Amino acid sequence: MNNKIQNKETDKKKSVVEAVIFDWAGTVVDFGSFAPTTIFVEAFQKEYDFTITIAEARVPMGLGKWDHIKAVGELDSVNQRWLTQFGTSMNKANIDQIYQRFIPLQKSKVIDHAQPILNALNVINDLKVQGIKIGSCTGYPREVIDILSQAAAEYGYQPDCIVATDDLAHGGRPAPFMALKNVIDLGVSNVAHCIKVDDSTPGIYESNNAGMWTVALLLSGNEAGLTYQQYKEADDKALNKARQKARLVLTKSNPHYMIDTIDDLPGILVDIEKRLIAGERP
């Protein structure tokens, strides 16, 4: 008598997709990407008694954090208020000072945003069952992502690779180097067999530049800017409005797919597998 018990996991076939590379905040953890945005607001306020809005803090999301501060300062609305308050535009010394204020604030609070969102762990574990490697990269510097990744590991999220924005000399998005460092470290044989999942336009540009399939998240990330509670309580009209808001921004970066959250990724994986088997490339 055959006593072997088969289940859906052992029946899974090895995927033609070699790796999926995830962003962190707004993608796998931190629904709505609030950890970095709220700290940007606080850093400007504490260092220069200068007020920026959450909406302004969100505009350059996905960039490395020093570049992010620089980009916020270059927004017309911010620059005009800075000129009025200080008589000159923000300069490198100002950016450095805000960044030095930002880092300890972010390190102290990022742990509060480490819990995986929605069905992220089940989706990622199912990818692993299919032999898919799990990579990750982030706009956080190494000293911040080390704290976040340790906290996320306590919830069960442990990617096979983590690349921080300051790990490489030219690592910042939208350049492809962080994504490609994942390819190297994971031992991926074909970049076209990789998928990148992100909630920001710099993150999508990064993966397009790396030659990967790109999946943009509409509702869990920076562009919709919803808290998890708002997402759960929203009716169809409110969710459609949030989708449209995010889609208007993310479409500019030409992702191959746009979905609500990581929970919708399995269906996209199936479609990409079919396209790869048919000989398509990103």
Catalytic residue ranges? 23, 65
What sign results for the dihedral spanned by CA atoms 126, 128, 132, 133? positive
- Tally Cβ neighbours within 10 Å of residue 86: 13
Q: Are 149 and 23 in contact (CB under 8 A)?
A: no
H helices present in the chain, as ranges? 34-48, 54-58, 65-74, 76-86, 92-109, 120-129, 142-155, 177-186, 201-209, 228-233, 236-250, 265-277
Angle at 31 between CA 25 and CA 33, to 5 degrees: 45
Q: How many H helices and E strands in the chain?
A: 12, 5
Q: Look up residue 213 and give its DSSP letter.
A: E
Report d(CA 257, CA 214) in Å as an integer.
Answer: 6
- Tally Cβ neighbours within 10 Å of residue 59: 20
Residue 176, preceding bond cis, omega within 30 degrees?
Answer: no
Q: What are the beta bridge partners of residue 195?
A: 20, 213
